[in-house]
Amino acid sequence: MLDTLNDIETSALAELAAADAAGLDAWKAAYLGNKGKLKAAMAGLKDVAKEDKPAVGQRLNAVKSTLEAALEARAGALGASGGGGGAATGPKLDLTEPGLIQSHALGRRHIIMRVREELVEVFARMGFEVAQGPELEDDEHNFIKLNIPPEHPAREPIDNFYVDDPDQVGTPRMLRSQTSTVQIRVLETLLAEGGAPPVKVVSPGRVYRPDTVDATHSFMFHQIEGLYVDRGVTMADLKTTLFQFARAYFGEDAEIRLRPSFFPFTEPSAEFDMMIQLRPDEPPKWVELGGCGMVDPAVFEACGLDPEEWTGFAFGFGIERIAMGRYSIPDIRMLFENDVRFLEQL
Ligand code: DAH
């Protein structure tokens, strides 16, 4: 009986070594299957003398395990394992081969976020710190304390995203329409903490207005606000700061101009333009980047600062406008559509 088992093992292993992938099933049926040779040998166990049974039984089990392991190894080697186990014994993988997907697109931060950071960096070199305010504001900070009185048309519900009903609620909440709100927040916090000017901050962030979207308008965009409060601040300081900013960010021959204008929270007020080439096929032209002026005494009073003692300037620019000027982007919608073919160029 032991001889029979040895023979089965020897011939089985020899046949297996010669088998191809298609022959594995037949081999398995011949040796390990229900009608296979091992099963037949097992049936012969009952004729084995009682004292030999344990040894023969053990040998039978050992041959079965050997053949099963050999089958798995052979299947792996032929790449036909069908149930894993092929990796260790299968064909060697060349891990240095390029993958089937040749290019993995590398992500990067959006151009608006990068411009925003660049602007903060330029102003930081001029001594401005960064301040933040909430996007969900109330009309007290968006309007009243900025000297925009109740009857002012800028407060119309049609021009703002109110969250509360402005006719029902005392200080209705709204999505801020300008970052000038942060001027008020900064001064309020400073005084509440027992501090005093000088204050020199910039505040970049999102603002919201229900404008119809076109090449130069969007219902959400970004502004960067600036505020400098100290004793003896003048319009000359404002103009110098803006001019230095323009040269630092746009280059040595940046051209700027201030045009007299009106904002409720500054007096005098101006609009800030820059000579910008938006399209390669058009000559540069004056583009309005934002507003600026000397902080109105009413704003100081609303925040609890004595306007006889303190002076200051403020400015607010559209970040999209600056990005469009700097990178010659002709349409603001390109900044929000997130077409990778556009974003990849920046
Ligand atoms: N908040 C104004 C706007 O959104 C821009 C502005 C004008 C900001 C004058 C200022 C300023 O700080 O002094 O149109």
Q: What is 12-35 written as a DSSP string?
A: HHHHHHH--GGGHHHHHHHHTSTT
Q: Does 326 map to a domain?
A: yes
* CA end-to-end distance (rounded Å), the chain: 81
Instruction: Compute the distance from residue 271 Cα to the ligand 1 centre, in Å.
Output: 9
User: What distance in Å separates the CA atoms of residue 60 and residue 76, rounded to the nearest whole number?
Assistant: 25
Instruction: Compute the distance from residue 270 Cα to the ligand 1 centre, in Å.
Output: 9
Mapping DSSP to helix (H, G, I), strand (E, B) and coil, where does residue 286 land? Answer: strand
Q: Does 15 map to a domain?
A: yes
The residue to which tokens 């039984």 are assigned = 57
Instruction: Compute the distance from residue 267 Cα to the ligand 1 centre, in Å.
Output: 12
- Mutate which of 128, 141, 155, 178 for ligand 1 pocket (most atoms within 8 A of beta carbon): 178
> Does ligand 1 come within 6 angstroms of the Cβ of 205?
no
| Whole-structure pTM value | 0.71
Amino acid at 63: V
Residue owning the nearest CA to atom 3 of ligand 1: 178
Of the three residues 30, 61, 78, the one that is the final residue of a domain is 78
Give the HSE-up count for residue 70: Cα atoms under 13 Å, Cβ half-sphere: 22
Instruction: Compute the distance from residue 147 Cα to the ligand 1 centre, in Å.
Output: 12
Tens digit of pLDDT for each residue in 281-318? 889 899 999 999 999 999 999 999 999 999 999 999 99
Residue owning the nearest CA to atom 12 of ligand 1: 315
- Same domain, residue pair 175 and 69: no
Q: Does 9 map to a domain?
A: yes
- Same domain, residue pair 71 and 137: no
Task: Give the chain's residues under pLDDT 70.
Answer: 80-89, 101-103
Ligand 1 atom with the shortest distance to the CA of 177: 4
Number of domains in the chain: 2
Ligand 1 atom with the shortest distance to the CA of 266: 13
- Same domain, residue pair 138 and 20: no
Ligand 1 atom with the shortest distance to the CA of 290: 5
Q: Does 102 map to a domain?
A: no
Ligand 1 atom with the shortest distance to the CA of 178: 4
Instruction: Compute the distance from residue 167 Cα to the ligand 1 centre, in Å.
Output: 26
Domain interval for residue 117: 111-343
Q: Does 121 map to a domain?
A: yes
- Same domain, residue pair 235 and 327: yes
User: What distance in Å separates the CA atoms of residue 149 and residue 265, rounded to the nearest whole number?
Assistant: 11
Instruction: Compute the distance from residue 315 Cα to the ligand 1 centre, in Å.
Output: 6
- Same domain, residue pair 55 and 126: no
Instruction: Compute the distance from residue 48 Cα to the ligand 1 centre, in Å.
Output: 104
> Does ligand 1 come within 6 angstroms of the Cβ of 178?
yes
- Same domain, residue pair 74 and 137: no
- Same domain, residue pair 157 and 48: no
DSSP β-ladder status, 220-230 and 311-318: antiparallel
Instruction: Compute the distance from residue 224 Cα to the ligand 1 centre, in Å.
Output: 9
User: What distance in Å separates the CA atoms of residue 228 and residue 279, rounded to the nearest whole number?
Assistant: 34
User: Residue 107 gets which letter from DSSP?
Assistant: P
Of the three residues 26, 55, 78, the one that is the final residue of a domain is 78
> Does ligand 1 come within 6 angstroms of the Cβ of 315?
yes
> Does ligand 1 come within 6 angstroms of the Cβ of 266?
yes
User: What distance in Å separates the CA atoms of residue 234 and residue 294, rounded to the nearest whole number?
Assistant: 8
Exposure class string for 276-314: b at 16+ Cβ within 10 A, else e: bebeeeeeeeebebbbbbbbbbbbbebbebeeeebbbbb
Q: Does 84 map to a domain?
A: no
Q: Does 83 map to a domain?
A: no
- Same domain, residue pair 236 and 283: yes
Burial class (CB in 10 A: 0-12, 13-18, 19+), 153: exposed
Helices (runs of H) and strands (runs of E) counted in the chain: 13, 9
Instruction: Compute the distance from residue 142 Cα to the ligand 1 centre, in Å.
Output: 11
Of the three residues 26, 54, 78, the one that is the final residue of a domain is 78
- Same domain, residue pair 128 and 68: no
Query: In sequence order, which residues have a C-beta less than 8 Å from that of residue 234 and are 6 or more positions away?
Result: 294, 311
Instruction: Compute the distance from residue 140 Cα to the ligand 1 centre, in Å.
Output: 16
- Same domain, residue pair 71 and 220: no
Sheet holding 220-230, edge to edge: 129-130, 199-208, 220-230, 311-318, 285-295, 266-276, 256-263
Exposure class string for 102-129: b at 16+ Cβ within 10 A, else e: eeeeeeeeebbeebbebbbebbeeeebe
- Same domain, residue pair 154 and 264: yes
Instruction: Compute the distance from residue 5 Cα to the ligand 1 centre, in Å.
Output: 96
The CATH number covering residue 202 comes to 3.30.930.10
> Does ligand 1 come within 6 angstroms of the Cβ of 312?
no
The residue to which tokens 């390669």 are assigned = 280
Ligand 1 atom with the shortest distance to the CA of 316: 8
Q: Does 318 map to a domain?
A: yes
Alpha-helical segments (H) within the chain: 2-18, 24-31, 37-43, 53-77, 86-89, 111-125, 139-142, 181-192, 235-250, 297-303, 319-327, 334-337, 340-343
What is the phi/psi pair of residue 167, to 5°? Answer: -85, -15
**Contact assessment for residue 300 and residue 306, using Cβ atoms and an 8 Å cutoff:** yes
Distances (CA, A) of 194 to 190, 248, 298, 305: 7, 35, 21, 12
> Does ligand 1 come within 6 angstroms of the Cβ of 263?
yes
**Contact assessment for residue 201 and residue 129, using Cβ atoms and an 8 Å cutoff:** yes
* pLDDT of amino acid 89: 64
- Same domain, residue pair 70 and 130: no
